[in-house]
Structure 1
Amino acid sequence: MKTGFIQLRLNGEARRINPLTTVTGLLQSFQMDPRSVVVERNRQVIPREEFDRVTVEEGDEIEVVHFVGGGKGGAENLVIVESPTKARTLLRYLGPAYQIEASMGHVRDLPKGRMGIDLEHEFKPDYVIMTKAKKTVTRIKKEAKGKKAVYLAPDPDREGEAISWHLAAILHGETDGKIHRVVFNEITPDAVREAFKHPREIDDKLVNAQQARRVLDRLVGYELSPLLWKNVGKGLSAGRVQSVALRLIVEREREIRQFVPKEYWQIRARLSSEKGGEDAKIFLARLDREGEKKLEIGNQKEAEEIKSRIEKLPFQVLKVEKKERLRKPQAPYTTSRLQQEAYTRLGFTAAKTMKVAQKLYEGVELGSDEAVGLITYMRTDSVNVAPSAQAEARKWIGEKYGPKFLPKAPPVYKSKKGAQEAHEAVRPSSVLRLPEKIKGFLDEDEFKLYELIWRKFVASQMVPAIDEQTSVTIQAGDRYFFRASGRRNLFPGFGIVFEIPEKSEKEDESSEEDEESQELPPLAEGEALRLHELLASQHFTKPPARFNDASLVRTLEEKGIGRPSTYAPTIYVLIDRSYVERKGALVPTELGEIVVDLLVKHFPKILDYQFTALMEEELDKIEEGELEWHSVLKDFYEPFSKYLADAKVEMRSVRREAVPTDEVCDLCGKQMLIRWGRFGQFLACSGFPACRYTKSMPTGFRCPQPGCNGDLVKRKSKRRQTFYGCSNYPKCTYVTRRLPRDKETVAEEEKPPEANGV
């Protein structure tokens, strides 16, 4: 909203000032050195390199965190982190002796225009300063001069260690001060100050594990992608983890296509106790067997025959079994579990979950002068919890709910094989920051994710819930036996904070009542029951479900493919390359299927699930010092290079395949051909290159606009999302997200915002 002035907060103090031209001008008006501040505009951090270019406009909300003494020559030490947001939070914790700079992520990488790996000399990488990082590197070198010490404080994982290693290499000879590595799993005053009391050297084993992963990914991507450009279409890519994930999605889709539904029928009875009269509670029981034989009803005729035989039979309770069942809380979140539950409970994609979690980790302002990281580091496969965090949680639980809800000793959860035990699970940095108390400082998504993490962690430190599970066998006449199940909660335990939904594989979606969790009335063996209604319902067996973000991440983790940091980027790349479309679930495109078929045929080992998992294990062993990284690369590359040589000769060229059609070119009248491109099939003139006319493939559906004779064709938005538009564009601007199905028609225009200007 335009207000005629700028809302400014300087170190938490509110100001109102007139609009200025740039961020630099704003800082100059307060005599602040740009090197010693972090600036946010409308909650988005502005990189220092853009201070001269970013215009401050009326109505903007500007937050400036300025540390007096930092960056003006008064600071003895330089601290380097990856992001301005993280720098902004640390500025509050460290004294004027520390100047903080942000590297903006990686500063060195393999070159873009060439492989950058010396295959003849132990796969030596040729690292170069990234184009986007050149100004940042120049600034960091300048600020490092004359400093007493340099502290490298990127994230506590392989990537963070590698960023630190690259920064140390760049600063070698540029500073007289000693270079230290500091790590912390949470960004809180105590954790940060403790880390700076105990700096360490850079861990070469961690660095080598990251280097091995980077070189492996470059070898696969750099060698395989050109094959796809040549034989399928430009702009495509292949990757060591990405292509295996795509194979999972494609194979699941083919399972679904090949699945043949099988009809079956169920008979359920609505019953009540004879003793209760008309007001007796009605419950559901399912027909289970005839005599000793499990009953399978294949069609309506069989169902009606059985139903007619049962309707007049007397019903009585044959057996009642009651058991107490403990429902234990689950471990606090790992990255993969967080992504799965954020998808199923909140509807967040894996990428969105990580983006929001990053904000919570790097720091949020709570009140006028308190900025703190709300959660621990969010890329982890460990379920470990610091004893201090457990003690704080136990104290809060005891005070809030009483000793009944506390286990005698803090629970210990077992991490999966290969987990980095030095890390913690994803948890709140303090359980005393109750979600409802800090809700006003968070946006909607941040609050939802923080509450999910907070509740999961608190529940993990509580006692199990206790349920009473009741199973009742009911006899109808002498031959037919029904089963009724019910559950009631005896003690909520952890469920008072975080309830875990139970999904039965046998869940009957057509039933209005959940038979497994219904609360049964008191029943005694031999008791007569009243039949209110017999229900016969038709069902069909279902194919396996398509993958979504949650199920794909779970499957990748179960198979040992990828690591916490790779799940979200993998899904993003598959969609970005048009190998997969997000249609509620993840659905492979024709292009994705062709790419998988070519890669599986010519690189069977590279796309093998077990082999990919083995490579992850070997990377873990490099990190643990059990394997030497050059030897792992050599063992991989020797068979890979042989596959590559054969594929260059034998791989089928889909790109060159052209299928004639009955259509003629609108420009020259020559025959149109079906060809393949980056986004799938399209129509191209056979007169190429003299005639370059192309158009999208028709879908078989006519444009529903009155008076239009065009066809609906598949298109891609600027964000590469699929939509369907009229072939007569721009004369007809009709677009829709979905095609009509069967006899249905498109009810309304659903123009995606990204389609404007297509």
Structure 2
Amino acid sequence: MVPKALVIVESPAKAKTIKRYLGSDYSVEASVGHIRDIIQPKNVKTDKRYNPATHENNSELRSYGIDVAGQSTSENTWEPWYVVSENSKKTITHLRKALKNTELLYLATDEDREGEAIAWHLVEVLKPKIPYYRMVFHEITEKAILEALNHTREIDMDLVAAQEARRIMDRMSGFGWSGVMRQVIGGGASGGPVQSPTTRRLVERERERIRFISADYHSLTASVFSEQDEMFPTKLVEVNGRKVVSGKNDFDENGELKRSSEVVILDQEQASSLQEALKTETLTVSSIERSPYQRKPKPPFTTSTFQQEVINKLGGSASAAMGIAQSLYQNGFITYHRTDSTALSDQAVEAARVSIQTVCGIEYLPEKPRTYENKTASAQLAHEAIRPAGEVFRHPDELKGDLNKDQLRVYEIIWKRTIASQMTDERGETARMLLGGIVSHENNSEPQAVTFSASGRVITHQGFRYIYEETTESDEESEGEGVLPDLPEGEVVTIGQIEVKNHSTKPPARFTESSIVKWMEEVGIGRPSTFSATIGKIRAREYAYKEGRSLVPTVKGIVGTNFLELEFNDEVQYHNRADLERSLDQIANGNEQRTEMLDRWWFEK
């Protein structure tokens, strides 16, 4: 029986999963990613479109494979010369064969700029003489696939235009920078509009580390006992009304105190003298402040926050995290994993609330569902956040026979984060106690007034932390969660063990894959869906290597960055690339013309 319709997706794995939900009337095939790309400049003159009379003096076409002026005499058209990729020719032949005798064509590539562009290229190459429709879905479940078939649309040419503009800029910037870099630096050096600013940030951090001068200081902590013999830890925070230096925020990068007249830095001799003098002293409670504590859950995952969290929790790389997410999506376990959105559908919210009631209990279910405001205006917001697929969220224990170890761990993180995002707040109480005393030294007739601080937090309701705890890279000391005794002002406490510690300020930490992804998102460099590929390129081209989890720039990366800062300084400024990303968003949303944006970028820079 000849299928009545052909459905084209991007990957064979996705095709296999979707085929399970469609009957014999449908054939499901894969384009295996992009099928066309811009011609290589070396092949322009041998292309059948090339006309010496009109193209001989077209420098952009001969240098980049892009005909900026086109055939128009009044405005630039920015026409890339596309060619079918060598490794896609067999795929095209196969798709043309599959298209024969069918009545309908469904283009079911991913619903983002790249997927929209692939759908358009398929139409341009296959030239179907039958009706064709754009079919989109955010999860691969039977219900989602059947709904997508019944709610098709046309190809969104604004998304295609945004993708094409990015590809043109990548080609012209990459080829332009790389050519000059190879001539001057050699060694296969190359640059790119996202890769180079990101490498520059790694190099800048290394420069900060080289300039950094460490500073030494001491801290003093004491265990104290109340009249009821309740023990709790305290820390020296003031001597004679001046703050005791306690961390890197008190020093500049040269190791100098920022406010030397307002603070006191303890050296070994001073700290030891205080330690000895305090052994026979007492402290008096001068104040205690208690305040309610409340912490809200984080939103569900976007692509960027997903990559950061998986790297922090499981290690590995951004590309590995995205690879696992890709396999989970293609096999119907999670929703589409390239998204800037923190939104959940009504169906997903209900599934999360049912899971909360079943797994955690009714006391962890808020009265009303939570909603989260998206921080970006990009076109990718058509998607939901990354979440478990389906109307019912499958518990990770149910999937132990279906997923490998890494897939299961990633699925569990997504499942927990999604459910946690709809749970109650963590609630409790924080307290800060100040205790004062006077100490006298044998070798100093002047007594010193000292102030110690104790802090604590009591959790009365775990809320979302019942099931999920976010992992961070911060090396800052977290506030204690111990219980402080309820002491009245004026109560005298005795001092037990006293400890002096030596500290040295540390240079800024090198970026990890997680922290560079976070930086790229915050600054607006690249798209979340391309972060992992960018980091992969930087490492593959030996501009940086991994030492543990840290990304360390190489000599090649440092030399390349120095060169680009001298020769292409404007292009590697972070705000310039972020402005371009916003312009691409405007094109994708239909608010700006591709040709006007490219004219401004190329001719006015």
Both structures adopt the same fold (TM-score exceeding 0.5): yes
Aligned with 1:480: secondary structure? strand
Moved more, 299-308 or 354-363: 299-308
Q: Which of residues 562, 573, 586 in structure 2 aligns to 1:608?
A: 573
- In the other structure, the counterpart of 1:325 is 293
- Counterpart residue identity of residue 324, structure 2: V
Q: Which of residues 385, 388, 411 in structure 2 aligns to 1:428?
A: 388
Q: Which of residues 165, 170, 173 in structure 2 aligns to 1:212?
A: 165
Contact 1:272 1:283 in 2 (8 A): yes
Deviation at 1:400, TM superposition (A): 3.6
* Structure 2 residue 410 is the aligned partner of structure 1 residue 410: no
Write the distance in 2 (CA, Å) between the matches of 1:589 and 1:313: 55
Q: Which of residues 339, 342, 348 in structure 2 aligns to 1:383?
A: 342
Q: Which of residues 470, 475, 494 in structure 2 aligns to 1:530?
A: 494
Contact 2:199 2:543 in 1 (8 A): yes
* Structure 2 residue 464 is the aligned partner of structure 1 residue 494: yes
Write the distance in 2 (CA, Å) between the matches of 1:177 and 1:245: 45
- Per-residue CA deviation, residues 682-711 of structure 1 (Å, 9 max, x unaligned), is xxxxxxxxxxxxxxxxxxxxxxxxxxxxxx
TM-score by structure 1 length?
A: 0.70
Write the distance in 1 (CA, Å) between the matches of 2:285 and 2:171: 68
Contact 1:285 1:515 in 2 (8 A): no
Alignment of 1:81-120 (within 5 A): 81-114=9-42, 115-120=64-69
- Counterpart residue identity of residue 267, structure 1: L
- In the other structure, the counterpart of 2:583 is 618
* Structure 2 residue 311 is the aligned partner of structure 1 residue 339: no
Contact 1:148 1:176 in 2 (8 A): no
Q: Which has the higher helix share?
A: 2
Q: Which of residues 417, 428, 431 in structure 2 aligns to 1:456?
A: 417
* Structure 2 residue 538 is the aligned partner of structure 1 residue 574: yes
- Gaps in structure 1 of 5+ consecutive residues: 1-68, 364-372, 508-513, 641-758
Deviation at 1:506, TM superposition (A): 4.3
Q: Which of residues 417, 437, 441 in structure 1 aligns to 2:398?
A: 437
- Counterpart residue identity of residue 389, structure 2: S
Note closer, same or farther for the CA distance 1:504–1:320 as it changes in structure 2 (3 Å cut). Answer: farther
Aligned with 2:516: secondary structure? helix
Deviation at 1:489, TM superposition (A): 1.1
- Per-residue CA deviation, residues 434-462 of structure 1 (Å, 9 max, x unaligned), is 01111221111101100000000000011
Contact 1:224 1:238 in 2 (8 A): yes
Note closer, same or farther for the CA distance 1:502–1:575 as it changes in structure 2 (3 Å cut). Answer: closer
Deviation at 1:330, TM superposition (A): 0.5
- Counterpart residue identity of residue 437, structure 2: A
* Structure 2 residue 451 is the aligned partner of structure 1 residue 481: yes
Contact 1:147 1:176 in 2 (8 A): no
Deviation at 1:341, TM superposition (A): 0.7
Q: Which of residues 564, 568, 583 in structure 1 aligns to 2:528?
A: 564
TM-score by structure 2 length?
A: 0.88
- In the other structure, the counterpart of 2:443 is none
Percent identical pairs in the alignment equals 39
- Counterpart residue identity of residue 68, structure 2: L
Aligned with 1:454: secondary structure? helix
Write the distance in 2 (CA, Å) between the matches of 1:629 and 1:501: 41
Contact 1:146 1:176 in 2 (8 A): no
* Structure 2 residue 486 is the aligned partner of structure 1 residue 548: no
Aligned with 1:532: secondary structure? strand
Q: Tell me how many residue pairs correspond in the alignment.
A: 547
- Gaps in structure 2 of 5+ consecutive residues: 43-63, 71-76, 245-263, 439-447
- In the other structure, the counterpart of 2:178 is 225
- Counterpart residue identity of residue 164, structure 1: A
Write the distance in 1 (CA, Å) between the matches of 2:188 and 2:132: 41
Write the distance in 2 (CA, Å) between the matches of 1:503 and 1:568: 18
Alignment of 1:711-730 (within 5 A): none
Q: Which of residues 326, 331, 336 in structure 2 aligns to 1:358?
A: 326
Write the distance in 2 (CA, Å) between the matches of 1:502 and 1:320: 30
- Counterpart residue identity of residue 157, structure 2: D
* Structure 2 residue 130 is the aligned partner of structure 1 residue 183: no
Deviation at 1:522, TM superposition (A): 4.1
Write the distance in 2 (CA, Å) between the matches of 1:220 and 1:275: 72
Contact 1:181 1:202 in 2 (8 A): yes
Write the distance in 2 (CA, Å) between the matches of 1:353 and 1:503: 17
- Counterpart residue identity of residue 179, structure 2: P
* Structure 2 residue 216 is the aligned partner of structure 1 residue 251: no
Larger RCO: 1 or 2 (CA < 8 Å, sep 6+): 2
Aligned with 1:390: secondary structure? helix
